[in-house]
Amino acid sequence: MSGSSPQITVRSLADAKVAIISSSWHLDLCNDLIAGAQKGLAQASITQIEVIYVPGSFEIPLASQIAFEKGFDAVVAVGLILKGETPHFDYVCQGVTQGIIDVSLKFSKPIGFGVLMCNDMDQAIARSGTAGSKEDKGYDSAIAAIELLHLRSKK
């Protein structure tokens, strides 16, 4: 772990429409990340939330683009990519990361980045927000997206 999350006061953003886009791989863990994201969005009084499942993390950038085209204000992207024995891990991690950045910049809309890229399941669980975990990257990602929505709405 690289340290604790920043302390951010969550401000209301009740009129925001947010998509939580999740990989379907490692679904139990992804559902914990989704729960964390929902908790963060609820703290900002956001009720217009849609959870969208895609086959894998590689599909998250395109699903985010489609969500923005359909009028969502922000996306919280969650998933888990586990390191295996081949370079596939590196390519998927790079593709997902770059794709999410590209979509966010293209639409000038925030995407909270909650896609875990871990060496093993223990690392993933420690970051998943499940009972006993040290971090909740689903929650943290939602808060990041909310903060950027506030920044975007400032005139």
Annotated catalytic residues are: 88
- The CB-side HSE value for 52 (13 A sphere, CA atoms) comes to 24
Amino acid at 28: D
Distances (CA, A) of 138 to 70, 130, 133: 23, 10, 12
Output helix, strand, coil percentages for the chain, rounded to the nearest 5. Answer: 50, 20, 30
